[in-house]
Amino acid sequence: MGYQDVKFPNGTVFLVTGGAGFIGSNLCEAILKMGHKVKCLDDFSTGKEENIKDFIDNKDFQLIRGDIRNIETCMKACEGVDYVLHQAAWGSVPRSIEMPLIYEEVNIKGTLNMMDAARLNNVKRFVYASSSSVYGDHPVLPKVEGQEGNILSPYALTKKVNEEYAKLYYRLYGLETVGMRYFNVFGRRQDPHGYYAAVIPKFVKCLLNNESPVINGDGKQSRDFTYIENVIEANLKACYTKENVGGETFNIACGGQVNLIELYDKICEVLEVRIDPKFGPIRIGDIKHSNASIQKAKQLLDYNPDFNFREGIKLTIKYYKEYFMSNH
């Protein structure tokens, strides 16, 4: 069953924090297509107006400009809300190493504000973005929930703390918190610009501009690349499931493993270009290999990712070709 078949009652209201970001805007769009109401909370520190321009005038869409570091903003945003999909955060492992204090403020304090506002407004379920980075240096593959290693970056630490608070809020207050450990999400609206851009949009952008991209390290490091549609499915099914999932975390991935050289070759193949990449230094805080077990999510959330890596990459490249043509 895909998420389109998930039936929420008429009049269901969702709050998507970070709703103008990459994952958040895709969630807003999916919820509106299902015929439900969505509030989007964003301070536009990393989110973009262009991501929500197609539904800003939709009568079921409400934009709240505000910062999750402000508890009053969080309280107001949660009024009358059934489900919170908390995506607002600062991403990027390298940037967190440079700016740990802002990560503490936004990712930890901001998430705690949202959790408390959800609790006080009697939200049914609080589904939040965690990260595969919480596995740290644990060497065993595939990654299984409950088998974590030493944390390698401030970003990863913020996500780990979020998970601990979520467990506590479920135990103490009964707030049904559900953590989504995302594994290398990619797809439409992922930002291709800037120093901290994710690897897929960065590669595509370089190749479309006939430039040679930089691969950090030897390119043999592997990731479990996960197409955005699978992430939408996981979030909505985490709201919908009748299973007792309060305080739990789930790997949200494809269960696959693609190294960066393979990824680069696949993008070249789809674009029908061939430019040799450059190799740069290994990034501090990066893990060597990442591959998820998705058994727990399959069992308790009925999560069955519809899109594999190859299908996702084709759709993503099609999106970026159109994006760059319309922006030049």
Active site amino acids: 155
> Cα angle at 233 between 286 and 305, to 5 degrees?
70
The length of the chain, given as a count of residues: 328
Read off φ and ψ for residue 306, nearest 5 degrees.
-80, -25
The total of other beta-carbon atoms located within 10 Å of residue 145's CB is 18
| Strand boundaries in the chain, DSSP class E | 13-17, 37-42, 61-65, 83-86, 125-131, 177-182, 185-186, 214-216, 222-223, 226-227, 248-252, 258-259, 278-280
The total of other beta-carbon atoms located within 10 Å of residue 281's CB is 8
The total of other beta-carbon atoms located within 10 Å of residue 139's CB is 10
Which residues neighbour 130 within 8 Å (Cβ) at sequence distance 6 or greater? 159, 162, 163, 179, 180, 181, 182, 249
- Helices 22-33 and 228-240: crossing angle in degrees, nearest 10, is 60
